[in-house]
């Protein structure tokens, strides 16, 4: 264990939150395209001091992006250093199509894993191991241990197992968002050309469209790890360390490789990510975390905290 990792564990043992932020900027020019929402568009708002603000990336979208850095799309498996971390794999058909709890938006509560149409051995196993009874108080400690066993990412990003029981839920322990301050709109547009019949109607001919981008004085990514929440799971100390190290790894990897949010929103890190609520504390480098995580995964596995084998396989029933 490196000195920087030891310092993190020591300094955070009695803290309730770890708050971090990182300044970003467009890789070229000044314009960027923020996230947009149906019937709303960009989420513009005014800060209490009158500053014009805009939401660049939402909490829910950031959760997906922080999960994505753990998955190797080319190899269709977890990145090599996270091998041994549990998750649930689902075969969708006989032709090789699949999904899993890392890729699914609701993790193990995906309709392909625990949906009502797909009730099967895995659902029954989870329900039995939790000891859930709708007429009794929820055994939350058992619930947390089961989530750690089958997919620790559920404890980091949250999950709601309403298909099993409406009270089985965990909020996010790692949350993040990106916002920009002192923003100004940049109005432009374009045309979708039809080379063959430009006068066709119903959107099949030439279609002009408006486009709104923005400039900003400052773009900031914010990250919040709920340390008290992690300790509140009542898990083995090595599991607590794993959840913290994995959360920090996700942040570091995202800032290093995941900042192309959209075609017109390609950002880069201006300065190092900073801890804002603990003076003198630095976030370990991605290299340090890559060195630490395999040992933590092995330790948790050797203590029987993970499913064996770590990848639990099931089949989707249409």
DSSP string over 222-269: EEEEEHHHHHHT---HHHHHHHHHHHHHHHHHHHHH--EEETTEEEEE
Per-residue pLDDT at 1 exceeds 80: no
Residues contacting residue 252 through CB under 8 Å, at least 6 positions apart: 273, 283, 284, 285, 286, 289
CA end-to-end distance (rounded Å), the chain = 47
Per-residue pLDDT at 242 exceeds 90: yes
Q: Alpha carbon of 150 to those of 67, 94, 169, 313: distances in Å?
A: 16, 24, 15, 11
pLDDT at 70: 95
pLDDT at 146: 96
Range of the domain at 230: 3-315
Tokens standing for 258? Answer: 């995941």
Split into its structural domains, the chain has a count of: 1
Nearest to residue 221, comparing CAs of 48, 9, 61, 52?
61
Whole-angstrom distance, CA of residue 107 vs CA of residue 278: 32
Q: What is the pLDDT of residues 257-315, one digit of tens each?
A: 999 999 999 999 999 999 999 998 999 999 999 999 999 999 999 999 999 999 999 88
Tokens standing for 304? Answer: 């029987």
Confidence of residue 123 (pLDDT cuts 50, 70, 90): confident
Per-residue pLDDT at 181 exceeds 90: yes
pTM exceeds 0.95, yes or no: no
Whole-angstrom distance, CA of residue 39 vs CA of residue 172: 27
Four-residue CA torsion sign, 151, 148, 70, 169: positive
pLDDT at 187: 92
């Amino acid at each position: 264990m490196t000195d920087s990792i030891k310092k993190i564990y020591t300094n955070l043992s009695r803290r309730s939150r770890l708050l971090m932020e990182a300044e970003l900027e467009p890789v070229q020019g000044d314009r960027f395209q923020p996230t947009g929402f149906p019937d709303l568009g960009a989420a513009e708002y005014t800060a209490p001091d009158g500053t014009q603000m805009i939401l660049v990336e939402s909490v829910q979208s950031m959760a997906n992006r922080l999960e994505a850095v753990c998955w190797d799309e080319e190899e269709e498996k977890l990145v090599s250093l996270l091998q041994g971390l549990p998750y649930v794999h689902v075969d969708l058909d006989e032709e090789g199509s699949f999904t899993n709890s890392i890729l699914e938006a609701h993790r193990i509560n995906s309709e392909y894993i625990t949906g009502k149409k797909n009730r099967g051995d895995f659902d029954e196993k989870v329900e039995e191991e939790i000891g859930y009874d709708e007429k009794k108080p929820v055994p939350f400690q058992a619930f947390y241990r089961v989530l750690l066993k089958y997919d620790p990412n559920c404890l980091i990003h949250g999950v709601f197992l309403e298909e099993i029981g409406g009270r089985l839920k965990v909020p996010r322990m790692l949350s993040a968002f990106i916002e920009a301050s002192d923003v100004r709109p940049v109005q432009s547009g374009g045309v979708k050309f039809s080379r063959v019949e430009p006068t066709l109607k119903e959107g099949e001919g030439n279609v002009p469209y408006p486009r709104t981008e923005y400039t900003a004085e400052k773009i900031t990514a914010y990250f919040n790890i709920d340390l008290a929440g992690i300790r509140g799971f009542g898990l083995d100390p090595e599991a607590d360390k794993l959840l913290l190290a994995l959360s920090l790894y996700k942040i570091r990897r995202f800032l290093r490789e995941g900042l192309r949010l959209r075609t017109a929103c390609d950002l880069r890190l201006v300065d190092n990510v900073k801890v804002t609520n603990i003076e003198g504390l630095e976030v370990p480098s991605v290299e340090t975390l890559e060195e630490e995580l395999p040992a933590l995964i092995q330790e948790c596995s050797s203590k029987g905290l993970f499913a064996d084998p770590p990848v639990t396989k099931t089949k989707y029933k249409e």
